[in-house]
């Protein structure tokens, strides 16, 4: 996890708000990547190389601190009756496409807001902004996940309305985001059919912690070797109560199942 992969600090993290007429020019921003070459650094803690036991202690410290901040976020969200969904997946599974479609279809029924997580660029925030939804982009630099402190900063910047349905698109990564509680109401893992139906077995932590599995890109099923039943069975082997919906974010097939799950979370939605 992150104490060993080198992404466990927030140096280089930036939170950006996307405003109307304020389009992104990411090339104009300085890009500082103080930890962009973890292979060149020896892992040090208190001046000594970090061995297995020390690495584990450092991991636990990071996660304990994160859990404390996440609990504060959860209280903050609960006090405002904001429902926050943490969307996680490998890069490119279709999180932003699903969100754009969802915001377009449901966006005016309840207040909505989005926090976008990516290592670099405002590209996803721009796509969300085009739907009219309030959005902030968190760029994590070398980091490979959002953490509770980034979430807190993003909430301060975004200031979602009371009663909002808040979507948090995590950094594309099927490993580290599973470790970091953000204070969200529920976790949604998205997998696309081009990734292989064995992923729940190979990356069990992500699926074990999720409340919903969205299997996306169902329109590509005729062209790829992906067994929906096997994927579902693999996911439920690590998480027996996991809800599963099969959708195509581009064609709209199966989205009713996704919207019904959202309605279960936010009963004010009509689907
Ligand atoms: N065929 C097909 N393509 C899709 C579908 N959903 C998304 N895509 C495509 O998959 C690519 C990645 O989609 P994104 O929505 O950017 O994926 P993402 O998970 O947000 O990616 P990252 O933010 O980089 O992790 C794009 O080319 C989309 O058009 C789908 O249901 N079917
Ligand atoms: Mg995206």
pLDDT band at 11 (very low <50, low <70, confident <90, very high): low
Query: Does residue 124 carry a pLDDT above 50?
Result: yes
Q: What are the residue boundaries of the structural domains of the chain, listed by start? A: 49-265
Q: Is the pLDDT of residue 209 over 90?
A: yes
Average pLDDT along the chain: 88
Alpha carbon of 89 to ligand 1 centroid (Å): 11
Quick one: average pLDDT of 127-132?
97
pTM of the model: 0.86
Rounded distance from Cα 132 to ligand 2 centre (Å)? 17
Looking at the CA of 125, name the nearest ligand.
2
Mean pLDDT, residues 134-155 taken together: 96
Does the domain formed by 49-265 have CATH 3.60.21.70? no
Q: What is the Cα–Cα distance from 16 to 153, expressed in whole angstroms?
A: 10
Region 157-176: what's the mean pLDDT? 97
268 vs 99 pLDDT, higher one: 99
Distance (Å, rounded) from C-alpha 161 to C-alpha 36? 36
Q: Which of 86, 94, 117, 145 to mutate to test the pocket of ligand 1 (most atoms within 8 A of CB)?
A: 94
Note the pLDDT tens digit of each residue in 40-65. 444 444 444 545 677 677 778 889 99
Residue 89 Cβ inside 6 Å of ligand 1? The answer reads: yes
The answer, yes or no, to whether any atom of ligand 1 lies below 6 A from the CB of 248, is: yes
Q: Per residue in 237-255, pLDDT tens?
A: 999 999 999 999 999 999 9
């Amino acid at each position: 996890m992150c104490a060993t992969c080198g992404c466990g600090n927030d140096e280089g993290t930036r939170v950006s708000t996307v405003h109307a007429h304020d389009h992104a020019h990411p090339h104009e921003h300085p890009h500082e990547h103080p930890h962009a070459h973890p292979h060149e650094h020896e892992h040090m803690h208190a001046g000594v190389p970090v061995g297995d036991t020390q690495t584990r202690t450092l991991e636990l410290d990071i996660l304990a601190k994160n859990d404390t901040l996440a609990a504060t976020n959860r209280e903050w969200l609960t006090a405002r009756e904001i429902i926050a969904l943490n969307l996680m997946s490998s890069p490119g599974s279709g999180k932003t496409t699903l969100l754009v479609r969802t915001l377009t279809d449901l966006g005016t029924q309840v207040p909505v807001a989005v926090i976008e997580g990516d290592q670099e660029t405002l590209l996803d925030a721009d796509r969300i902004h085009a739907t009219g939804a309030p959005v902030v982009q968190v760029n994590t630099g070398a980091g490979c996940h959002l953490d509770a402190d980034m979430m807190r900063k993003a909430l301060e910047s975004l200031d979602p309305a009371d009663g909002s349905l808040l979507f948090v698109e995590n950094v594309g990564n099927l490993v580290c985001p599973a470790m970091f509680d953000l204070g969200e109401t529920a976790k949604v893992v998205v997998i696309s059919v081009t990734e292989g139906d064995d992923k729940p077995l190979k990356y069990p932590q992500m699926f074990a912690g999720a409340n919903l599995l969205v299997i996306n890109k169902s329109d590509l099923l005729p062209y790829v070797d992906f067994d929906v039943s096997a994927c579902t069975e693999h996911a439920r082997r690590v998480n027996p109560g996991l809800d599963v919906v099969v959708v195509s974010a581009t064609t709209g097939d199966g989205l009713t199942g996704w919207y019904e799950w959202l309605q279960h979370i936010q009963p004010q939605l009509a689907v």
